[in-house]
Amino acid sequence: MIVQKTVKAKIFGLTRVKEAMLREEYDNFQAYLKGLDAPLYSATKQQAQRHEETKWET
């Protein structure tokens, strides 16, 4: 089963540092969804856990 979720966000004043932080968090989120242990911010981890719960409901 392929799961797809679209996240929309506005980023003002994108810098190399912000881009690197966003890319790292996105990569960690993807790894977490694949079952790997990845460091995530708590809000991102909560969203990933909610996503896992809804994935198994269908």
pLDDT of residue 37: 85
pLDDT for 20 equals 94
- The pLDDT confidence band at residue 2, using thresholds 50, 70 and 90, is low
pLDDT of 44 = 81
Q: How much is the pTM?
A: 0.65
DSSP output for 1-52: -----------SS--HHHHHHHHHHHHHHHHHHTT------HHHHHHHHHHH
